[in-house]
Amino acid sequence: AFIHIPKTAGSTLRAILRRSFGPRHCDLRPWAFQRKSHGWLCADDLRFAQRIYPRLDGISGHRVNCFSGLEQAADLRFFTWVRDPVARFVSLFLYSKRRRLEHCTREEMMTFCADPFHRNQQTLWLSGTDRAAAAVEMLEKRIGFVGMMEVFDESLVLLQRWLAHPALVITYARRNAGRGRVAWPLLDDPELRGLIEAANREDQ
């Protein structure tokens, strides 16, 4: 079960899983009409997917997690990918503005930093809380493998060894990736940098 934290190269990894496992892999998500209210996925969601995908080997998705009882429906091994918290946060902000720098103003970033949903997202996706200690506990007890975006290729090789599944092929093309580093001058603003770091303190 791949826990897909936003802006951590998860789309590329999801494409690898889809290509490797075909109909034995499912990108698990709530129905469109439920997405705002459904929250994290649970065992019933996985059981429903198993009826549609009777040979299901693996799942991935932004709502997949290791703390809401998914393992009650299957024998799951959880893994995820993480990223430098500040870089991930800025990437998410730029992505939310469709990378149009005229919309990426200081005021917009300050509003983004203040939004509780955007703060410490890696900690939230790992533990369902905003506490780093809870995320560390999940990493120690529930999550079997953690890759790092900054060393993506090396992490893929280690994932292949950990998963030990003959169908997994780790060649890839990048998906949903920004075109290089965006020259966003506000990154050099000390006050704004401080707000970004404060919004990701638990992740750091």
What are the C-alpha distances in Å from 38 to residues 6, 63, 76, 83? 18, 9, 21, 26
Q: How confident is the model at residue 188 (pLDDT cuts 50, 70, 90)?
A: confident
Q: How confident is the model at residue 182 (pLDDT cuts 50, 70, 90)?
A: low
Query: Would you say residue 180 has pLDDT above 50?
Result: no
- Tell me the H-state helices in the chain: 10-21, 35-38, 43-52, 85-96, 106-114, 121-127, 132-141, 152-163, 190-199
pTM: 0.91
Helix or strand run (H / E) with residue 148 = strand 143-148
Q: Tell which wins on pLDDT, 179 or 46.
A: 46
Q: Helix or strand or coil: residue 2?
A: strand
Residues of the chain with pLDDT > 90, as a percent, come to 82
Distance CA 100, CA 181 (A): 13
For 29-39, the pLDDT digits (tens) are 887 777 777 88
| Token pair 């509003």 in the structure block, residue | 111
pLDDT computed for residue 124 by the predictor: 97
Q: What is the mean pLDDT of residues 3-32?
A: 94
Query: Would you say residue 181 has pLDDT above 70?
Result: no
pLDDT computed for residue 15 by the predictor: 96
pLDDT computed for residue 184 by the predictor: 72
pLDDT computed for residue 177 by the predictor: 66
Best CA proximity match to 165, nearest among 39, 24, 45, 41: 24
Query: Would you say residue 135 has pLDDT above 70?
Result: yes
For 103-113, the pLDDT digits (tens) are 889 999 999 99
pLDDT computed for residue 183 by the predictor: 59
Of 11-20, 43-52, 95-104, 151-160, least confident by mean pLDDT is 95-104
